[in-house]
Structure 1
């Protein structure tokens, strides 16, 4: 992360766009949450019937009372129709804000990459002639092409994932606390365990990723050296020597790339598996609370709680993938 920090200085001048991206992402998360949770109080009334106004304090009780009032004023079908229409409208608004946020972010990313390319090329022009020996040309070309692409992915993840996904997780957790503080507290005890496992995998990616980038530069160096000095290679019958050098480096890259891919591909399935395990534990614990009468949580809201937790699995997976991409960049 310390090596990513200098790249963030290139975001100077884009503060207003970043703030706008934050606002649109926040609105997208809020509308996504509302579109998902809107049906829970209606299902509560539809399946359990209209009950007496609840005297319990809390947002959940207030929502149920409001739905009860609507059904008493109209009927169940009218209340359901209103809820479905609200879900559709909120979903449209959510996707509108998602699209807007991406259109705000893309020019920032492309502008930063353009600036980095210009700076690297100007730096190359200012270097002394002695710097450009045969061993450094390929490495320099690799940095100006492949490494820039890796940096682009890293910047995209810093701006996108580390703004949008934490917002999703925080707002969803707040909603879960409103529904059931007991279950949420139990969940917060379980999450750090899975997060620790995923974090260790992301940390283990740093070394092989750096080695792969270095060896890729060596490959380009051998190619440049061979093509530029082809007359010398032919004159000294050094074709086999150059082929051996190239094959050795290429095989090393092959092994490193396989190692990186195996660890990268493990990150997302592991996150999902840990999430499902936590869901099953929450199902058991929540069911135990409901059966014992230790909570006012009802069936529809318990299902909504599980659904809310499942909504934060993807953001957690995206964060784990983002840590990999940043280490790689």
Structure 2
């Protein structure tokens, strides 16, 4: 339970007002619940014709004796004037009134806890999404996408259904139990001591039963992550699955995971379903033993209270049974929720190495040059870049060529700090990029990647993505420069047409031109192109290449390319091989050297 209270301590403080109000309303509800039960005593005494006749009022004080004396005084007066039967409606009205107050305050308390629960769940979702947006790309290379989705959806829902649903239990049930036990102690401390001997035994049994639930829940949630991962891969790769007749293979893989999930969920659900019958049975055991012991106390010659009081005592004790049963069910719920919260915390508490240092500088303009100074970087134990140095002058086009896996993409990913250098440093205008505010640093740059990343939104919003208050005129101008305006206007709703999931309604060339229009609208000082034309047919490549030339005009550009024909006019070409720059120069200079670049050129012109 310590972990449960730690979680509440993290998320509840902003909602202290609702918390305090809920406790106050629950306290009033519990008090009127006990008062309603105490009003049963005179009703039972009247029924059994054992009501006391009190002829004198005493001053009202907060004591049991004063309250009991004056209540029986009014009952006696009604009985004398109107007869015994008239007493029953009088007491009934009192019971109804106190019950109305009880349920009213119960609703008001629940009204507050609903707000707390929904607000906390919203906060968890927002924190989780913000963290996912802020984590470096390296985090996702080590995590399965399906598992991340499972934590952000299923695990948050599990926390809502378990931990957050237990808030009402936590705020309501202890108050009911404390008030009821206080009344029981006042009525008979002997019986109450006996109750407190029995209840811990029942609680210990319930605790032992739910001990393994947290571990099993954690395994089941991990398996759900695997299932979501297979679903995502299968839908994303459906074209390949069908092309290779691999439907059966993927179905078998999915069936294995769902069968494992079924088996573990059988164990979790069966253990969870044991909570209610077990607590009900143990509660009944306690009541049976209590009635037996109570009968012994009542029939004792020196008994301090009679049968009617004992019946009211049983009624008050019975009000503890449901809260106690909810505690046991809540204990099982909390174990499941804690397992889900542990998985969520793997994201929320993940180390974000891409942080701004204290005193980071603002920078809104690129003025001189970019310098890579003896930069090294690796994933785990594998070095991807080894002591690389390069100077990129403002307004120049620098091309990066070389075999796949030679470090080109990692080289450009270090510039916007998608990863941080491990050795050496990168400077812009003489300032280490780690000393520049991340938002400002990335604001200097625009990216056009090999895979054009579009969102299931309109053409307008995809082009204006990341640009605040973009006008229709500016968006259309960017689309015209990118050779995209014509095909956009041919669609049904023009710039308000949805492009489909990941731009699925568009061809590859159209997606790429929308991506280029986005970069044009942003108007960055530094442009990064990563294989922007490699996946296109000849006609689309020509249109995209023309759009790229419009985009790169008078801009500092870093271009990754496999097709050397696209970088012939670069001011500087750098040839990468196994994490190092092995050659530098213009196209003509590198061809004349007869080295690695020359060999690549010969292979492509044959």
TM-score by length of 1: 0.91
Alignment equivalent of 1:177, drawn from 176, 180, 185: 185
What does residue range 99-114 of structure 1 map to in structure 2 within 5 Å? 99-114=107-122
What does residue range 1-329 of structure 1 map to in structure 2 within 5 Å? 1-4=1-4, 5-51=6-52, 62-75=66-79, 76-133=84-141, 136-329=144-337
Deviation of residue 319 (structure 1)? Answer: 0.9
Label 1:34 to 1:271 Cα distance change in 2 as closer, same or farther (>3 A): same
Mean Cα deviation higher: 230-239 or 263-272: 230-239
The answer as to whether partners of 1:70 and 1:79 remain within 8 angstroms in 2 is: no
Q: In the aligned structure 2, how far is the partner of 1:238 from the partner of 1:91?
A: 66
Deviation of residue 270 (structure 1)? Answer: 0.9
The structure with the largest helix share of the pair is: 1
The answer as to whether partners of 1:45 and 1:67 remain within 8 angstroms in 2 is: no
The answer as to whether partners of 1:41 and 1:63 remain within 8 angstroms in 2 is: no
Deviation of residue 203 (structure 1)? Answer: 2.0
The answer as to whether partners of 1:25 and 1:98 remain within 8 angstroms in 2 is: yes
Q: In the aligned structure 1, how far is the partner of 2:2 from the partner of 2:250?
A: 38
Aligned residues between the structures: 326
Gaps of at least 5 residues in structure 1 are: none
Compare CA radii of gyration and give the structure with the larger one: 2
Deviation of residue 77 (structure 1)? Answer: 3.7
Secondary structure in structure 2 of the residue aligned to 1:48: coil
Structure 1 residue aligned with 2:458: none
Deviation of residue 297 (structure 1)? Answer: 2.1
Label 1:92 to 1:287 Cα distance change in 2 as closer, same or farther (>3 A): same
The answer as to whether partners of 2:38 and 2:312 remain within 8 angstroms in 1 is: yes
CA RMSD of aligned residues (A): 2.3
Q: In the aligned structure 1, how far is the partner of 2:142 from the partner of 2:200?
A: 49
Q: In the aligned structure 2, how far is the partner of 1:128 from the partner of 1:45?
A: 76
Gaps of at least 5 residues in structure 2 are: 55-61, 338-606
Q: In the aligned structure 2, how far is the partner of 1:285 from the partner of 1:105?
A: 38
TM-score by length of 2: 0.51
Q: In the aligned structure 2, how far is the partner of 1:294 from the partner of 1:270?
A: 37
Deviation of residue 156 (structure 1)? Answer: 2.5
Label 1:267 to 1:299 Cα distance change in 2 as closer, same or farther (>3 A): same
Q: In the aligned structure 2, how far is the partner of 1:299 from the partner of 1:316?
A: 25
